[in-house]
Amino acid sequence: MLLNPAVSGFHPDPSVVRVGDDYYLACSSFEYFPGIPLFHSTDAEHWTPIGHVVTRPGQLALEDVPTGGGAWAPTIRFHDGLFYLTVADAMGRGGLIFTAPDPAGSWSDGVVMIGADGIDHDIAWDDEGTCYVTYSALLLTGPEFGTHLGIQQVRMDPKTGQALEEPRSLWSGTGLKFPEAPHLYEVDGTWYLMIAEGGTERGHGVSIARGPSPEGPFEGAPVNPVYSHRSTSHPVQNAGHGDLVRTDDGWQMVLLGTRPGGMSQMFAPLGRETFTTRVQWVDGWPVVERLELTADLAPVEVRSSFAEPLGLEWLTIRDAAPTWVARADGRLTISAASDAPAVAMDAHRPHFVGRRQQHLASRCSVVVDASAGTGGLSVRYDERHHYDIEVSAGLVRARVRLDQIEQTWEAPLPDGPVEVWIATSPVVPSPGADMPDLVTCDLVRLGYGRGADAVELAVVDGRYLTSDVTSSFTGRVTGMYAASGVVSFEGFRYEGSDA
């Protein structure tokens, strides 16, 4: 049984490539920086982060993308000694081609694709070296914004990004909504076009067709979708957006899915994660094994002393050049923006440094010195949905922001640094429970102090920080922020468990 989740927490839209004995995986990152996380494996099962494609200003137009925009659905491939990664910078630069000789190294600035308007771009080459870009033709610019033209394809010059012909329409699935995530493969002389359809929510699935060339014509599999968890009680829902890779033990599929909680599996706190499963070929069609969650995974504890540079897990929001954050003497110091809104985490680009929540049960804690400002710890889905535990002179405040609704709880504090924490715990439905406790996914607890002096200031329903409620396709990210002045942090700790 393969390890699942393969990459936990907000890591959607996985794409995988094998080069020699090495495997590389890329995922979407939306408005977060650094963008497009990359992972390496030698067995296509255990994945180690090695870097990001987007590591400097200008590669994506992150500064101004709306919530849910930014890096959508990369495809990573290898051709003639060079790694290629295509991605849509949604509501930003558009479709892009990045290249690098080493995926762990520095990637190019990105070439804008011209004549391939859409999302979820795939890149492939035939035996003659002709480059094909196949994509989901969802229009995100111009007067036809939101129009979907199905799966389309062009021959392209990958060096210039220029399409060499007008787009052609390809097989676009069985008629379910949002045909997307196309990938082209040549397997034993036959070309396969695999797509997602049904939407990236509960109806998500993987469908496939085959034909004699990259241009088709394509005929659908006798049974499509070839993989879906729709209308089942499987603990992983929204399963789809797959990519195939051949391993020494056969074929595997990486795909996205969610782990919704509650009696009706309604709310998924971690967003869309990466999973993997095995694939067999029968009569020229892929047969995908039902993936299984791995039981009894060991708890995780990660400490950040800030004595060393921040690790690959840390993120900012739409800010590729955060001059407002510094490290010194084992502390992380964040300076607030001069134009910060009354609620700092409502900002389009808050002064915030965070990491993904990757476990259903989690606890983040950090010591805050707010003697020269106001700041604290926040768990965020987007700028309109976040829970904060905030410290200022003589006061600690827990805050819930739900779109236009705000609620706070306050308590006095003595001067000096204080530990604040945010903990999440899954709700297990039980007989006699009220309906809200039956359907929600988890509780989020906000507090301060440690040990016997710990005070729980607020307990909040976690369903409101899920992709099923917010307008975002991301996941929970928890971290430190400054609302005014200068705030220092030390001893950040993340604890997580799925038991």
Query: What are the extents of the domains in the chain?
Result: 15-288, 300-497
Told to judge if 89 belongs to the known catalytic residues of this protein, a careful annotator would answer no
Residues of the chain under the 50 pLDDT cut: none
3-state secondary structure of 345: helix
Cβ distance 386 to 376 under 8 Å? no
Q: How many beta carbons lie within 10 A of that of residue 320, not counting itself?
A: 17
Do residues 85 and 101 lie in contact, with contact meaning Cβ atoms separated by under 8 Å? no
CA pair distance 27, 39, nearest whole angstrom: 9
Task: Residue 252: name the closest of 20, 8, 19, 23 by CA.
Answer: 23
CA angle 301, 306, 308 (to 5 degrees): 100
According to DSSP, residue 438 is labeled H
Check if 15-288 and 300-497 are the same fold. no
Q: What is the DSSP letter of 63?
A: G
Residue 298 CA to its chain's centroid (Å) = 23
The torsion region of residue 253 among left (phi > 0), alpha (psi -120 to 50) and beta comes to beta
Contact residues for 264 (Cβ-Cβ < 8 A; gap 6+): 438, 439
User: Nearest Cα to 174, choosing from 202, 143, 145, 197?
Assistant: 197
Type of residue numbered 111? V
Structure confidence at residue 433 (pLDDT)? 67
Say if CB 204 and CB 196 are below 8 A apart. yes
Q: Which residue, chain included where needed, has tokens 């007008």?
A: 166
Quote the CA–CA distance of 376 and 414 in Å, as a whole number.
Answer: 16
For residues 374 and 334, is the Cβ–Cβ distance under 8 A?
A: no
Contacts of 293 (CB under 8 A, 6+ apart): 4, 5, 235, 236, 259
Cα–Cα–Cα angle for 46, 21, 244, nearest 5°? 65
State the Cα–Cα distance between residues 383 and 409, nearest whole angstrom: 20
Identified catalytic residue from 89, 120, 122, 180:
180
Per-residue pLDDT at 423: 98
Tokens 């990001």 locate to 52
- Contact assessment for residue 254 and residue 276, using Cβ atoms and an 8 Å cutoff: yes
Token couple for 320:
């590729």
pTM above 0.75?
yes
Q: According to the model, what pLDDT value does residue 477 have?
A: 98
Q: The tokens of 37 are what?
A: 């996380």
Structure tokens given for 254: 């990486």
Distance CA 385, CA 406 (A): 10
* Cα maximum dimension of the chain: 74
| Rg of the chain on CA atoms, in Å | 23
The torsion angles phi and psi of 345, rounded to 5 degrees, stand at -75, 0
End-to-end CA distance of the chain: 18
Rounded Cα gap, residues 176 and 17, in angstroms? 28
**C-beta separation of 1 from 292 below 8 A:** yes
Q: Please state which of the four CATH numbers 3.90.1150.10, 2.115.10.20, 3.40.50.10860, 3.90.930.12 is assigned to the domain occupying 15-288.
A: 2.115.10.20
Residues in Cβ contact with 374 at an 8 Å cutoff, skipping those fewer than 6 apart: 336, 344, 390, 391, 392, 482, 483, 484, 485, 487
Cα dihedral 356→358→360→361 (10° resolution) = -80
Catalytic site includes residue 180: yes
CATH topology of domain 300-497: Jelly Rolls (2.60.120)
- Joined tokens for residue 96: 């892009």
Beta strand 331-335 with 477-497 is: antiparallel
Q: Which of 13, 31, 319, 419 is an active site residue?
A: 13
Q: Is 435 helix (H, G, I), strand (E, B) or coil?
A: helix
Structure tokens at 342: 């009354």
Residue 323 DSSP code = T
Contact 478, 357 (CB under 8 A): yes
